[in-house]
Amino acid sequence: MSLRGKVAVVTGSGSGIGRAIAVQLARDGADVSVWDLNRAGAEETVAAIEKEGGRAIACVGDASSEADIAEAVAHTRAERGPVTILVNNAGITGFSPFLDITVEAWERMLRVNLTGPFLCTRAVLPDMLAAGWGRIVNISSSSAQGGAGRMAHYVASKGGVIGLTKALAVELAAKGITVNNIPPGFVDTPMLRASPVPVEAASAVAPMKRPGRPEDIAAACSYLVSEAANYVTGHTLSVNGGRYLA
């Protein structure tokens, strides 16, 4: 499933799931543009890719800022060419009882987790339309499928990502562009370890008795952006170890 000759953007790829996706797409042959707010993290991902013989560049910026996105897209096009693969992975999380969620916290969550993918997609879509080929993968969350207490703003934002995926899939299907989403379940990442979730205890009651790995999500993404998935669009590919079944 070679991606040789393709340019891929992976947002939030300075660590965790995003890094694993960026490394996997590079292994598949893509030129990867690593986007992250954290310069050191982005450069570490690029170094990991180059160590394996892959090609990558780092773009530092906020994936929910129109100005930062425009700059990153311009840099990517100048260095590597038109973008035909986009993985909207950048996001934030939060835990708070519903009545304690402020309007500011609600709006920030939606801006990063939902408006960000909208802006990034809008910025690179012209390249895909011109090529008559494109792959968009949005990283949502299993919490948007089954719900989660004390996370109403997060769940709402990720539910919006699933809806955006379906709407774009219908609109772009005849253009040679597929749009799918992956809702990770309980995946062991720095973000999860920094949360109040008891990782070991939660893993003990999960069907597979372990958390997922970033590489599990990367493998699913690798399939969805490949030619093997050319007739798959608007799909929610759940990668959660049986945590949510539907």
The residues annotated with a catalytic role in the active site are: 154
DSSP-assigned beta bridge partners for residue 179 = 136
Strand order, beta sheet including 134-139: 55-60, 31-36, 7-11, 85-88, 134-139, 177-182
